[in-house]
Amino acid sequence: MSWRTKVRAAIVSMPILMAGPALAADDPAVLKDLTAVIALQGQPCGQVVTATKQGDNDYAVACKDGSRYRVFVNAEGRVVVQKQ
Amino acid sequence: MIGNRAGAVAAGVLVLLCQACDSTPPASRPTGGAASREAAPAAPAPASKPEAGPTAETATPPRAEPPRAPATAPPVKPIVPDRVKQPASQTTTPPTPAAPTPASPTPAEPAPPAPTPASPPPAAQTPAPPPPTTPAHAATLDLSSLEKRLRETKAIGVFTKLSLKNEVDDLLEQFREFHRSPDQSSRAKLRQAYDLLLLKVLSLLQDGDPGLARDVSSSREALWSILVDPDKFKNL
């Protein structure tokens, strides 16, 4: 395998490897759950349209009204809605 | 001869006229003297004459009545329609049915409303049975069962359940503070927070798990009584 081929393989595989942790959560149940959480915390959102999983119990969400939040569970076990 | 006869006839006619004048003036003067225009209504009086033909004295009072009746008929129509039958029978009859018509619908309307409320009660009775059963649940409030059902319901997502649990824990901590301190003024605030939290739970459950929402709603007061009572709260 030549040097050029190795570089091409690395370039092609890099985005795939990087995209691993950030998986889009298109499950309507998850979107509804995140919408309810944000509403319970009293934050404006309307409806969550996209959610990206960043880790265990950690989501980056985009709302219908354009606002973005990070929803996660902190070390104390509390659900936190953080405006981005 | 012809002149004497004519003169005799003329004299007789004059005598008759004088006699007639002597009898009529007392009755006609008082009525006609007040207003000369009422002499025109006196014209219809001859129509009533045939009814009171035998005596002119009885005929004259009816003459006076007809003019009074038309003048007073409009206001008196609803009160005494039967008394003024002859003079204003044609004019009063239409209003008379009109008056009874509204009167009859009025009693008729109450009748329909009566059945209408009668029909809702059965509908109300249908939801009524659940409340008696739910108070029964509330009386024997099973907190563990309620908690288990809340944990297992799929109407609320994991994040939402965790968030609700955080709020419940916060509220329980406020109740602990409430029972520690002798100040009972924060009871109203606690009730407000409790109602708000319960409202959140109900809004989350009502679509996905209406049965659980109903049970939670029915046990609202029982739960509150446990939270407010220091002894019961300790045993939680």
Cβ contact (<8 Å) for B158 and A40?
no
DSSP letter (8 states) at residue B59: H
* Amino acid B235: pLDDT: 84
Q: Which of residues 9-48 of A touch B (CB under 8 A)?
A: 29-30, 32-34, 36-37, 40-41
Residue A32 lies in a domain: yes
| Residue B214, both tokens | 């109903």
* Amino acid B185: pLDDT: 85
B163 to chain A, any CB pair closer than 8 A? The answer is: yes
Q: CB contacts < 8 Å between A and B, how many?
A: 37
Residue from B156, B159, B173 to probe the interface with A (highest A Cβ count within 10 Å): B159
All structural domains of chain B with their residue ranges: 2-28+38-91, 141-234
Residues A45, A67 contacting (CB under 8 angstroms): yes
* Segment B185-205, tens digit of pLDDT: 889 999 999 999 999 999 999
Q: How many domains does chain A have?
A: 1
* Amino acid B196: pLDDT: 94
* Amino acid B7: pLDDT: 59
* Amino acid B74: pLDDT: 42
Phi and psi at B95, nearest 5°, equal: -65, -35
Residue A64 lies in a domain: yes
Residue A16 lies in a domain: no
Residue A74 lies in a domain: yes
* Amino acid A34: pLDDT: 95
Radius of gyration of chain A (CA): 17
Q: Please give the mean pLDDT across all residues of chain A.
A: 84
Q: Which domain holds residue A44?
A: 21-83
Q: How far apart are CA B236 and CA B225, in angstroms?
A: 12
pLDDT (mean) for A16-40: 78
A46 sits in the region (left: phi over 0; alpha: psi -120 to 50; else beta) called left
Comparing CB atoms, the residue among B159, B167, B200 nearest residue A33 is B159
Nearest residue in chain A measured CA to CA from B160:
A37
* Amino acid B193: pLDDT: 95
* Amino acid B76: pLDDT: 40
* Amino acid B20: pLDDT: 53
Residue A1 lies in a domain: no
| Residue B64, both tokens | 């006076």
Q: How far is CA B97 from CA B89, B93, B202, in A?
A: 12, 6, 58
Q: Which amino acid is at B71?
A: A
Decide: helix, strand or coil at residue A21: coil
- The angle at the Cα of A40, spanning A66 to A68, to the nearest 5 degrees, equals 20
Residue A9 lies in a domain: no
Low-confidence ranges of chain B (pLDDT < 50): 1-2, 21, 23-139
* Amino acid B56: pLDDT: 38
Residue A5 lies in a domain: no
Residues A47, A28 contacting (CB under 8 angstroms): no
Decide: helix, strand or coil at residue A56: coil
Q: How far apart are CA A12 and CA A28, in angstroms?
A: 31
Q: How far apart are CA B185 and CA A43, in angstroms?
A: 30
Q: pTM of the prediction?
A: 0.51
Residue A52 lies in a domain: yes
